Amino acid sequence: MEGSFMPSCILVVEDDLLSMELLKELLSEAKYSFETAENGHQAIKHLEATPDRFNAVLLDRMMPGLDGLEVLNKIKSDDQLKALPVIFQTAKSSREDILEGLQAGAHYYITKPFEEKNLLAVVNTAVTDHQRYQRLQSEIDETLGALRNLKQGEFTLRSLNEARKVATLLAVLCPDPQRTVLGLSELLVNAVEHGNLGIGYDEKSKLNDQGEWKNEVKRRLDMPAYQDRHVSVFFERQEQGVQFLIKDQGPGFDWQHYLEFSPERAFDTHGRGIALAKSISFDHVEYLGNGNTVKVTVNQEGSGATNPS
């Protein structure tokens, strides 16, 4: 699979036998490995026994006993599992139901009956994102050392590859690098593609559907209109924690719509980066001015984390 870091494995949680057989057939044809659980209790046992094995959980919402929402709450309250993407498959598709799932931590939604193409597109996105997160975590170990003594600094970058390298580097400066690296990566990638290169939300949706997103990013990086644009990252170690100021050279955007997981975007394969950064990685997120600058803070352990934004 594209973006592969290690063999991908999906935990499929479904109590209906016919639905389970259909999902197994689709995943097998797409060359995914998977394990199955027929109820919520089995799912939790699988996850607790091997928390690093899975790249995504395909979770039925309505099950007897421990239902999907309860399983999701347990996943998101476990430090070893909370970054694991959960794909809710459900017949409950009202805005209220979707919002409840998003607030509990489900980043992806598939409604029953589902289209096979849509299901596989969402699975591929979830798996690829999690493998990228795992890759970032492994790179952190390679950059530990003297960097922890760095008090402040400024970094610049242009490309997505540079964004991920800088994210890994800066995460090491924080009390919990594994927690911080995901958010830094998401915000820096957002600053490159949406900020400097001007790829809007709807445009990225089309590019993803066509499999052309990476090619378009590379094309724009070479265009005269964008060649001189860069992202600046200012780092400062403060008494209560670590602060980053990320600034791109784009015109800004209406950032208020992206701080929380939105039911309107629940079925899209992107658009979760800022909300993920806010919910998982940072104790404070604040966009400044027109939205091309964001200030984020990681508190020192025990300093009383809050996120008023």
Local structure of residue 246 (DSSP, 8 states): E
9-136, CATH topology level = Rossmann fold (3.40.50)
Domain layout of the chain by residue ranges: 9-136, 144-299
The pairing of beta strand 241-247 with beta strand 56-60: unpaired
pLDDT digits (tens, 9 = 90+) for 219-272: 999 999 999 999 999 999 998 899 999 999 999 998 988 888 888 777 777 888
Q: What is the pLDDT of residue 245?
A: 98
pLDDT digits (tens, 9 = 90+) for 19-60: 999 999 999 999 999 999 999 999 999 999 998 899 999 999
> What sign for the dihedral angle of Cα 280, 266, 273, 50?
positive
Using a pLDDT cut of 70, give the percent of the chain over it: 92
pLDDT digits (tens, 9 = 90+) for 166-209: 998 899 888 888 889 999 999 999 999 999 999 999 999 999 88
144-299 shares the fold of 9-136: no
The pairing of beta strand 152-157 with beta strand 231-237: antiparallel
**Helix runs in 30-159, H state only:** 40-49, 68-76, 95-104, 116-140
Candidate from 66-80, 125-139, 271-285 with smallest mean pLDDT: 125-139
Residue from 4, 61, 2, 8 nearest 33 by CA: 8
Query: Which CATH homologous superfamily contains domain 144-299?
Result: Histidine kinase-like ATPase, C-terminal domain (3.30.565.10)
The pairing of beta strand 293-299 with beta strand 108-111: unpaired
Map residue 52 onto helix, strand or coil.
Answer: coil
Residue from 247, 260, 243 nearest 287 by CA: 247
Confidence of residue 141 (pLDDT cuts 50, 70, 90): low
Using CA atoms, how far residue 74 sits from 14, 62, 89, in Å, is: 17, 16, 17
CA angle 176, 126, 58 (to 5 degrees): 110
